[in-house]
Amino acid sequence: MTPETSTILFEEILPGGWNRSLLLKRGTALRLTDLEGGANVSALFYNAHNTTERYNMPDTLKAQFISCLGKGTVCYSDMGRVLVSLIDDSCGWHDTISGVSNARTNQRKYGSHPYQSARNSYYRNGFDALLLELAKYGMGKRDMVAPVNFFTKITVDTTGDLMFITGNSPAGSYVDLQAEMDTLVVLCSCPHPLDPSPTYAPGQTKLTVWHSAIPPEQNICRSFCPQNQRGFMNTVEYHL
């Protein structure tokens, strides 16, 4: 089911530059909608019942022979299971190889805009925002791994050089993540450090959760590659 045909369980606006977390139960899905265009939503995923099991970027890439995420791909945990599957996506490219901003990259790019002078428009960075959200669950720096940067496109040329592609996510772009396990989703909406825009102006993202309940055998992500069939099998067996 899509959010248009199902009962919405939760809907909220995540302002630009902020952090949020939610428990996404197995069989529900989260739609991230880039309301203004050009958003960057960094995301980490954990097994809600054992957070030492977490999103693993290299396992995700090598299992699916990809270097970015899009419709039909999944986010693997380090335990060979599928945390979330990308059941729909209007964007086509979501980065997972280039990390998030930190206090140093923000200072270098935008200068200092602390709370004292800027109030709640103060400039926030991805590392501190994610860490803050992790700390609310008793986690810390050792639990930080490479995140997914939804809506951000960074290509790699034949020599290995990175290039940030502007305009990957027009206003209204969305990506739908179905939880294949009870998943703790940790988000932040700080600008990507390679975004060439000199202005700190992160846009709003809408978070929508609904009961999607697409079974593995009908999930397009399962047929993406034989590896995903085995990944879904591992995930189903975990819940027996």
Partner 1 sequence: MSTTTLQTSQLQPEAAAYETVLPAGEHWIHLIKKGQTFRIVDLEGNQAVDTLFYKADDFSERYSAVDTIREQGNVYLTTGSRLLSSECNTMLVITADTCGRHDTLGGGCSAESNSVRYPRETRHMHNCRDTFMQGLLQWGQGMDKREITHNINFFMNVPISPEGKSTFADGISEPGKYVEMRAEMDVICLISNCPQLNNPCNAYNPTPVKLLIWD
Q: Where on the chain is the footprint of partner 1 (CB under 8 A)?
A: 52, 56-59, 61-63, 65-68, 70, 76, 78-81, 93, 97-99, 102, 104-105, 127, 140-146, 155-162, 193-194, 227, 230-231, 233-234
Q: Report the run of H or E that residue 10 belongs to, with start and end.
A: strand 8-14
Nearer to partner 1, 2 or 50 (CB): 50
Least distance to partner 1, CB of residue 53, Å = 9
Rounded Cα distance, 172 and 66, in Å: 25
Least distance to partner 1, CB of residue 78, Å = 7
| End-to-end Cα spacing for the chain | 24
Least distance to partner 1, CB of residue 109, Å = 13
Nearest CA among 72, 70, 109, 84 for reference residue 193: 109
Least distance to partner 1, CB of residue 232, Å = 10
Rounded Cα distance, 174 and 88, in Å: 8
Nearer to partner 1, 131 or 209 (CB): 131
Nearer to partner 1, 90 or 102 (CB): 102
- Overall size of the chain counted in residues: 240
Nearer to partner 1, 46 or 200 (CB): 46
Query: In the structure encoding, which two tokens stand for residue 210, read together?
Result: 């609904």
Query: In the structure encoding, which two tokens stand for residue 3, read together?
Result: 């959010």
Least distance to partner 1, CB of residue 162, Å = 5
Nearest CA among 206, 24, 176, 191 for reference residue 91: 176
Nearer to partner 1, 94 or 210 (CB): 94
